[in-house]
Amino acid sequence: MDKLIITAAICGAEVTKEINSNVPYTVEEIGREAESAYYAGASIIHLHVREDDGTPTQDIKRFKVCTEEIKERCPDVIIQPSTGGAIGMTNKERLQPIYLDPPPEMATLDCGTMNFGGDEIFVNTENAIIYFAEEMNRLGIKYELECFDKGMIDMVMRLHDKGYIKAPMHFNFVLGVVGGIGATARDLEFLIGSIPKDSTYTVCAIGKHEFPMVSLSIKKGGHARVGFEDNVYLSKGVLAKSNGELVEKVVSIANEFRRDIASPNEARKILGIL
Ligand code: KMH
Ligand code: ZN
């Protein structure tokens, strides 16, 4: 089994300080949270950025200062900007961080349209997915294929057959979003069984589902994502003080399964970006 790649999704676009006051907004707070996750064992930082008041933004200038801050504190960490951004943003707005100079090593590529709770719809049409994939192919960026449901894997496979999405593929299964697949062992087994054998995958799940689903992924040879974007609790009723605390919990679960933790360079090798 490969060593375990831990991704920390340190702030997301939806979670706020009202829910957990440790959610980072400012450049300094983003740096602090990335650093806490990195020293706890994360090799990838999945990055959304915010204005100082918490408003989500895909502004390339904000991404630039935040990535510089993270690189200063965690020089070898893999920074994976979101191209999902926040609900309602345009495709061009969402794609901005892939045009950083130099381009990021990785970025997310969301693989289908879905309900996203309440009246929200997260729009990713087939043509938009092709556009995002072709831009990332051109820039040599490794995409993490965000699949919130089984049909999104089918979309990936169709676009792979047409030559738009390149192998080896790396997936992130996001379980338990209202509008996506549930977060049960059966759901996760179904997703894992639906991807090509030479792919890699990581797993994240919303709220209380986070640690059970991540544990199953670790056991089965998949990778793990945790962080405030997905869940702000360390255990029932106990708010995490930092992303680092959530990563530490993953490391202790990995120890139980005798799974070693990948360094950033080991993660690069596993993902084929070194
Ligand atoms: N904020 C969600 C609407 C991604 O980062 O690529 C989309 C998201 C996925 O978080
Ligand atoms: Zn995200």
CATH number of the domain to which 85 belongs: 3.20.20.70
Residue 1 lies in a domain: no
Q: Which two tokens stand for residue 133?
A: 């994939």
In a domain, 57, yes or no: yes
Does residue 26 belong to any structural domain of this protein? yes
Q: Does the CB atom of residue 7 touch ligand 1 within 6 A?
A: no
Kindly give the confidence (pLDDT) of every residue in the chain, 274 residues in length, as a single tens digit, with 9 standing for 90 and above: 999 999 999 999 999 999 999 999 999 999 999 999 999 999 999 999 999 999 999 999 999 999 999 999 999 999 999 999 999 999 999 999 999 999 999 999 999 999 999 999 999 999 999 999 999 999 999 999 999 999 999 999 999 999 999 999 999 999 999 999 999 999 999 999 999 999 999 999 999 999 999 999 999 999 999 999 999 999 999 999 999 999 999 999 999 999 999 999 999 999 999 8
Report the amino acid identity of residue 88: G
pTM recorded for the entire structure = 0.98
Does residue 231 fall inside a structural domain?
Answer: yes
Ligand 1 atom nearest residue 13's Cα: 1
Ligand number nearest CA of 110 is 1
Domain membership of residue 40 (yes or no) is: yes
Within a domain: residue 245?
yes
Per-chain residues with Cβ under 5 A from ion ligand 2 = 82
In the chain, how many domains are there?
1
* Helix 27-40 with 60-73: angle, nearest 10 deg: 40
Residue 141 lies in a domain: yes
User: What range does the domain containing 82 cover?
Assistant: 6-271
152 within 8 A of 112, measured Cβ to Cβ? yes
**Ligand 1 contacts CB of residue 146 (under 6 A):** yes
Write the residue with the smallest CA distance to atom 6 of ligand 1.
Answer: 84
Q: What angle do CA 261, 19, 46 make, to 5 degrees?
A: 35
